[in-house]
Structure 1
Amino acid sequence: MIGRIRGILIEKAPGHALVECSGLGYEVDIPYTTFFHLPETGQEVTLHTHFAVREDAQSLYGFASRLDRNLFRLLIKVNGVGPKLAVGILSGLDAQQFIRCVEARDVSALVKLPGVGKKTAERLLIDMTDRIGQLEGQFTPTVPGSATPGGSTTAPAASHDARDEAEAALIALGYKPQEAAKAISKVAEPDMTSEALIRLALRNMIPAG
């Protein structure tokens, strides 16, 4: 089991990171909440990981915090929730936001996540209520929402390319093209990077409970 990886961030994109460690490049699938915390490429990064082996594939999932990784492991134990859906859930809500939804029995916030229907949301609330206790003592301070990923203050001005990248990222997450375009248009302002557009769009689409 690969539980953590520390190395140089070679590439990053919404949902994906490439980390070089001891001469090897590890392709890591990541939720968007982790993508927002990645440093600039060329800098050192540490990810808490889960290694999944199936008959047809081997995948390494990475998370900014141990809490997010451990919640991911609990989510994939829920009937009907696989790694892809678990990553989608943690792309819209970080661990602490998800836990608040469970504690508040907030079905409405969960059904706004792509791939999560009402039945799945209700199953998550039922199954995760008891399992949440396994995460006690693991809460750690998270980077405030005002912190920008990878020093985006020096990023170039927003452009059609930034908007296109942000829309493509939301579509890859599971939103319909029309939903993605509408969400991006609502938050788009001058001098915004694709990372900032994605962050704000997700925040508006899935408000914190």
Structure 2
Amino acid sequence: MIGCLNGTILEKQPPDLLIEVAGVGYEVQLPLTSFYALPEVGKTTIIYTHFVVREDAQLLYGFSNQTERSLFRQLIKANGVGPKLALTILSGMTAQQFVRCVQFDDISTLVKLPGVGKKTAERLVIEMRDRLKDWGVSATTAVSDKLILQDDEAFFAPPASAEQDAISALVGLGYSRLQAAKAVKQQLTPGISSEQLIKAALKSMI
């Protein structure tokens, strides 16, 4: 079991990360909540991981903290929720926001996430309620109070492929290419980076 990786970031393309540890490059997929917490390429970081072995692949999922990893592990135990959907859920909201949705039966927020229909949202609330009862979210904490998609970061010169990078990242999270392209074009402004563009587009769809 690979529990964490401590190494140098070689490449960042949300939601994918390439990190070098002791001369070995590991490909890791992260939810956007964790991806935006990463330092710049060339910097070192610690990623907490969950290793999935399938017949056709071996996959590493990474998280900036153990709380997100713990919630990911609880999510994939739920009926009909695999690693891809769990990653999508944690890309649209923080762990605390998800816990709040479950504890206060906030179905309407959950169904805004790609791949989460009404039946899936209802099942998640029922199955996860007991598992998350000790996570401690205040009843006065609204999801909007802690939105992960903030716009207070400085803008950087965008790469030439910022628009396509953003579209690809949203498609990877479960949105259709048409939905992704429309949302990205609506948020496209001069000087916006691919990460800023992804945040803005995702925020407009949730």
Q: Distance in 1 between matches of 2:11 and 2:62?
A: 14
Q: Which runs of 5+ in 2 are unaligned?
A: 138-145
- 2:45 aligns with 45
Q: Distance in 2 between matches of 1:158 and 1:13?
A: 12
Q: Distance in 2 between matches of 1:125 and 1:142?
A: 20
- 1:23 aligns with 23
CA 1:54–1:134: 2 relative to 1, 3 Å: farther
CA 1:174–1:197: 2 relative to 1, 3 Å: same
Which residues of 2 match residues 1-209 of structure 1 at below 5 A? 1-133=1-133, 135=135, 145=150, 148=153, 153=155, 155-157=156-158, 161-206=161-206
Q: Secondary structure of the residue that 1:112 maps to in structure 2?
A: coil
Q: Distance in 1 between matches of 2:36 and 2:152?
A: 9
Q: Distance in 1 between matches of 2:120 and 2:79?
A: 9
Q: Distance in 2 between matches of 1:12 and 1:53?
A: 23
Q: Is the 8 A contact 1:158 1:191 kept in 2?
A: no
1:61 positional shift = 0.6
CA 1:147–1:43: 2 relative to 1, 3 Å: farther
CA 1:104–1:142: 2 relative to 1, 3 Å: closer
Q: Distance in 2 between matches of 1:143 and 1:105?
A: 20
Q: Distance in 1 between matches of 2:113 and 2:85?
A: 9
Q: Distance in 1 between matches of 2:178 and 2:59?
A: 30
1:134 positional shift = 5.2
Equivalenced residues, count: 198
Report the TM-score when normalising by structure 2: 0.87
1:88-116: per-residue Cα shift (whole Å, max 9, x none)?
Answer: 11111121121121122111211111111
Query: Which residue identity lines up with residue 10 of structure 1 in the other structure?
Result: L
Q: Distance in 1 between matches of 2:7 and 2:197?
A: 27
Range 77-86 or range 54-63, more displaced: 54-63
CA 1:49–1:115: 2 relative to 1, 3 Å: same
Q: Secondary structure of the residue that 2:48 maps to in structure 1?
A: strand
Range 13-22 or range 176-185, more displaced: 176-185
Q: Distance in 1 between matches of 2:178 and 2:100?
A: 29
Q: Is the 8 A contact 1:17 1:29 kept in 2?
A: yes
1:164 positional shift = 2.2
1:27 positional shift = 1.1
Query: Which residue identity lines up with residue 133 of structure 1 in the other structure?
Result: K
1:150-207: per-residue Cα shift (whole Å, max 9, x none)?
Answer: xx64x31476x3122212221221112221122223322221111001111112222x
RMSD value, Cα:
2.3
Q: Is the 8 A contact 1:31 1:90 kept in 2?
A: yes
Q: Secondary structure of the residue that 1:12 maps to in structure 2?
A: strand
1:57-84: per-residue Cα shift (whole Å, max 9, x none)?
Answer: 2111101121111000000000111111
